[in-house]
Structures are given as C-alpha cells and as structure tokens.
Structure 1
Amino acid sequence: MLLKTSSILILVVSVLAHMELIEPCPRYSSKCATKPAPPPGETIDYNLNTPIGSNGNVLQPFCKHTTPWLQVTETWTAGQPATVQFAPGGATHSGGHCEFSLSYDGGKTYVVVHQELRYCFYTAAPNSGGVDSVRSYTFNLPSNLPGTDHAIFAWTWVNAVGNREFYNNCGDVAINGSAGSYTGKKVTIANYGAEYPVIPEFLGNYNTGVSYYTTNVTQITITGNGYNGSS
C-alpha cells in the first residue's frame, strides 16, 4: 500500500510539473538563483508551473501575482541581447506557441518583443525529430525600445498537446534606453476565458493557431521616459 501510494504521488507530481520561468526571476519564485524577498503580505509560490487558464476557463489572474517584486531583478538594454531561461525538466506538451512581452503601464497592455511559435522548448518540430531540450532563449530587444526603470516581463505559452491550457509567468525588469515610444504586436491570449479564442490541440499540425500570432493581430504603442542605470 505504501509503495502504491508513493507511486501515485510521484505520478501526480510529474503530471503537474509543467514549465516555469526562472530568468528573469518571476514573482515570488522558489527556483531563481538570486531573488528579492517577497513584498509584505506575500509568500514564495511553489506552484508557478501551473496554467492560469484551462479549456477556456480563467484559473488565475494574468501574472498570477499582481504585486511586483520590490525591485527589478534584471536590467536589459534596448537593441542588445536578452536571455530568458526556464527551469530544467518539466512537461512541454510537445511544444506550442510562446511569446515574450513587456508592459510599460503596470500590466494593462503588453507588447511582444520575441516569439517562439509552433514548437517552443524543442529544437525542431517534435514529429520531425525535434528534441525536447531547449530551456533558454536569447534574442535581441528592439533597438528603439524606450528605457524605463520598471517594466513587467511576461512569458506566455499555449501548449500543443493536452488540455487546452494557457501558461504565464511575469518578472520585473528595467530597460536601459532613451525616452520614446515603440509600436509592436499586442500579446496573444488564448484558452483563457470567454473573451479569448480557444486554440485546439495541434494533432501534428504545428500551424494550428499561428494566425492568432501573425495575422489576426493588434498593434499597440508603449512609451517610456528613458533610463540609464543598473539592477
């Protein structure tokens, strides 16, 4: 009986162990190498790898935690590389669509600065021999991204296989750059409440839902007062 119970617990943990951002450090993470103390009244969150939406239902608010870290955990520079890293292991659900976005207005709007569509976390399409081994992405930030001493970084993911879920973690970053504005694509949200589309399982077709990220999109403009500092 003990062995059977232990096996069930291991199975449950493995099922729940989805993907989780660790750099920039998401709000109240237990897994970042260095992290601030949680703000007053908040505690470490040991379940940041669970979806915020499932089968069209809202399970948690966007970012999961709406109160930011007391200070930013990364400082990036407009036009320079930025690295996003995930905890090792985890269930990648045969890939899916990932976006990396920034908000300059406290989380009201998010502009996309990078996409990994179709088979996020894989080296190539899983049905064509792609390997589930990618746990970090480095990409160049737009050169005209305005500077700010506090932006919200958001990772979002719609999984390719399994329950129709929507994953999201948020961190707090600063951007070195001049004052100005930047216009780009608004973040895509799906499988998250009645006002958003439900992207079905891919079933081997990795173009499933891509139009929501590339064609049926909204452009938004963000502004920043400029920043030149360090975290």
Structure 2
Amino acid sequence: MKFSVLAALAAALMSPAYAHLIMASPKPFNNPNNSPLLPSGLDYPCRGPPVGSPTSTELKVGSNQQVTFEGSTTHGGGSCQLAITMDKTPTKDSKFKVIHSVEGGCPLTPIDFSVPAELPNGDATFAWTWFNNIGNREMYMNCASVKISGGASDNSGFDKLPDMAIANIKVGAGVGCTTLEGTDAIFPNPGKSVQKAASGKFKDLCASKTPAASGAASTPAATPVVTPVASSAAPPADAITSTIHTLVTVTGTPTGNSSVTEASPAPASPTPPAQPSATSPPATGGNASCATDGEIVCNGETQFAICNHGKAVWQPVAAGTSCKNGKIAKRAFTHRAQRTAGSV
C-alpha cells in the first residue's frame, strides 16, 4: 500500500501547526514532537521505543513508496536518509540499514523510494533521519512501525546494506562527528539508491574530523551513478539561505550496470513584476528586504526566497514547480526521458 500524500509542498512549507519539520507519512509512532534528538543521545533511537500498539504500514518489496512531511521550518534543507531495522522495538544496539539517501535539498519535497529486495519478511522499524543545513548542529529522527512482505527469507542481503549515518549526537559513530553549518552532508556510504541536489555546498558528514578519523561505516560502499542536473541559476557560493533544490534520483550498482532517469529541465517562464512582500527584487542571486520571517516570497514564477531575518535571497524554484502568490505549486507534467547506461 502506497503512503498517501497528506499535504502538498506549499502546504507543508506554510503549515502553522509545526515549527520544525516532522514525518507525516508513514505515521510515526508515539506521536513524537518535532524536536531534534538530544545531543547526549539519551533518546536515540526514534526518541524512544514504540508504546502500546502503534499503526503498522505494509511495505511490499519492489513497490514504490513515498515519505511526506509537515512543518514550516526547513533550516535551509540539508541531507537525510531512509533506513530499516528488523527490530520491532529498536534500541541503541539496533542496526539501521540504509535503503535510500538524499544529499542536499532534504526534506523540502516528498521523498520517493523503492522497497529493496534485500529486506527480509517480518515486522520492522522504518526511520527517517535528517541533518539540517542551517541552525544548530542537530540530528532529527522519526520512526514508524512497518511490516515487510514479499521479501527475502534470511538476513544475508540485509546485513550487506550500509549502516545509517549518525552525527551530532554522542552515540556510536556520532561521537566526535559534527556536520558543518551552511553545507549539505555527503554520506560516507549512501548506498545504491541516492537522490542528489543539482547544486549546493557539499561537505563530508563529519566535516570537523580528518578523513582518517571520520568513522565511516565498515560495509563496503556501492558505487552510485550520479548525474546532477544543472539548475537555471544558483545563489552565491557564500550565501546561506533556505532553498528548494532541483533533485534527480539516481540508482547505481557495484557492477555499474544501472538505469538512470533524467528529468528534462522545465521551460523558462517570463519573470513578471516582483511580489509586494519584497522591495525591488533584482535578478537571480540578488536579494531584497521582506517583512515576515518564514514566509515565501515570489520574484515572478521562476524565483523564490524564504524570508530570513528580514532578508530574501532570490533563487530558482525546483523543476516542475512555480512560485505564485507566496506559494510553491506544481506545474503541469513535464516530459521525462529515460535512457539506459551505455546508450548515447
């Protein structure tokens, strides 16, 4: 059963019900608040084990699923992972294995993923983790109870999946591992299913440590095929802003024989006069003043900004979307061309 889309992107960004973002689908257990994990790691994993009889969502191997979010404070995006542990009641010793990674632009859009064949049948725990771009050095984590069906009869394939990344908390590999503010984390082992922003300021997950002491996972890394899609414009290199990146989903295997789906760029639209909420906005990469922190400001349909301390820095909207009346909305369906690796 595919997770239902509970809110469109614009509604998620503007919702007054939450400050930080929180996973909406699949439904997290224990009705957690949207705070990050404690720096001490006392509430890792999942901000505590499930209580009572939480709702369980079926994940059928090979099916396409989606994770959605609620909230308004995106902290400039960042990087996140989807992971599974076969422990129904996870503990600090549980092994969370990565099934999908997003490097940059997370979680400003819903996350689409496929349930991998390596997962064994049975009750399990699904986790979404997030390392924010702007703000305190934190680790967010929401968990949901799931039931794997149509999967493997043993754990041999599951055990070979990469370990979930941990940083900014004093647990396991997270001890001494700190992300760098204003950057999107690059995971030491993102796995075979990777979604990467077309542009951004990328740094290794443990940017404060030397490579020799980075504590990378021991599982051999797969070789993802990454094909970035250049955005129509990008903010200045030293700008730290709340952004929505154009994302491409890529799949790689150790043999290199994989298919790549590339998104065709959305057609350019003429830029109408600036919205009243910003003062005389210049071209892409410029900035203007704005009134209300957290509000979305449009510069025509092709540029947007999220008001941050009275300042709006213009940047392009994600492919397939437009900015109208202070909201990000989907455009009409755009053509997607698919090609297989090795084709010309």
Scaled to the shorter chain, the TM-score interval is 0.5 to 0.7
Q: Secondary structure, in 3 states, of the residue corresponding to 2:144?
A: strand
Normalization by structure 1: what TM-score? Answer: 0.66
1:120 matched residue in structure 2: 106
Aligned length: 171
Task: State the TM-score, normalized to the length of structure 2.
Answer: 0.45
Residues 84 and 137, structure 1, Cα contact 8 Å, conserved in 2: yes
Unaligned runs of 5+ in 1: 1-13, 30-44, 123-133, 221-231
Query: Cα 1:50–1:71, aligned 2, differ >3 Å: closer, same or farther?
Result: closer
What's the CA shift string for 1:96-153, capped at 9, x where partnerless?
A: 110010001342110000111122124xxxxxxxxxxx1x2121111232111x1001
Out of 75, 95, 98, the position equivalent to 1:93 is 75
Question: Cα distance 1:75–1:203, how it changes in 2: closer, same or farther (>3 A)?
Answer: closer
How much has 1:193 moved relative to structure 2?
A: 1.4
**Cross-structure match for 1:206:** 201
Letter in 1 for 2:135: G
CA apart distance, 1:211? 7.1
Tell whether the 8 Å contact from 1:51 to 1:59 is kept in structure 2 after alignment. no
Q: 2:30 aligns with which of 18, 28, 31?
A: 28
Aligned to 2:147: 174
Instruction: Report the counterpart of residue 216 of structure 2 in structure 1.
Output: 216
For the residues of structure 2 that align with 1:180 and 1:194, how far apart are their CA atoms? 28
**Could you tell me whether the CA contact under 8 Å between 1:117 and 1:210 is conserved in 2?**
no
* 8 Å CA contact 2:179, 2:206 repeated in 1: no
Counterpart of 2:85 in structure 1 is 103
Aligned to 1:164: 137
Determine which of 44, 49, 57 is the counterpart of 2:34.
49
Distance across 2 between alignment mates of 1:155 and 1:81: 16
CA 1:59–1:145 in 2, change beyond 3 Å: closer, same or farther? closer
Contact 1:79 1:144 in 2 (8 A): no
- Matched residue of 1:208: which SS? strand
Give the structure with the higher percent helix. Answer: 1
C-alpha distance 99-68 of structure 1, shift in aligned 2 (>3 A): farther
Higher relative contact order (CA 8 A, sep 6+): 1
> Does residue 66 of structure 2 align to residue 83 of structure 1?
yes
Determine the structure 1 residue equivalent to 2:126. 153
Say if 1:96 and 1:160, in contact at 8 Å, map to a contact too.
yes
Cα distance change, pair 68–138 in 1 and its aligned pair in 2 (3 A): farther
Instruction: Read off the aligned partner of 1:98 and give its amino acid letter.
Output: C
The 1-side partners of 2:69 and 2:55 are apart by: 18
Which 4+ stretches in 1 moved above 3 angstroms? none
CA contact (8 A) 1:202 1:208 kept: no
**Cα distance, 1:194–1:137 mapped onto 2, change above 3 Å:** closer
- Paired position in structure 1 for 2:20: 18
Letter in 2 for 1:80: S
Cα offset, 1:179, TM superposition = 1.1
Contact persistence 1:17–1:50 (CA under 8 A):
no
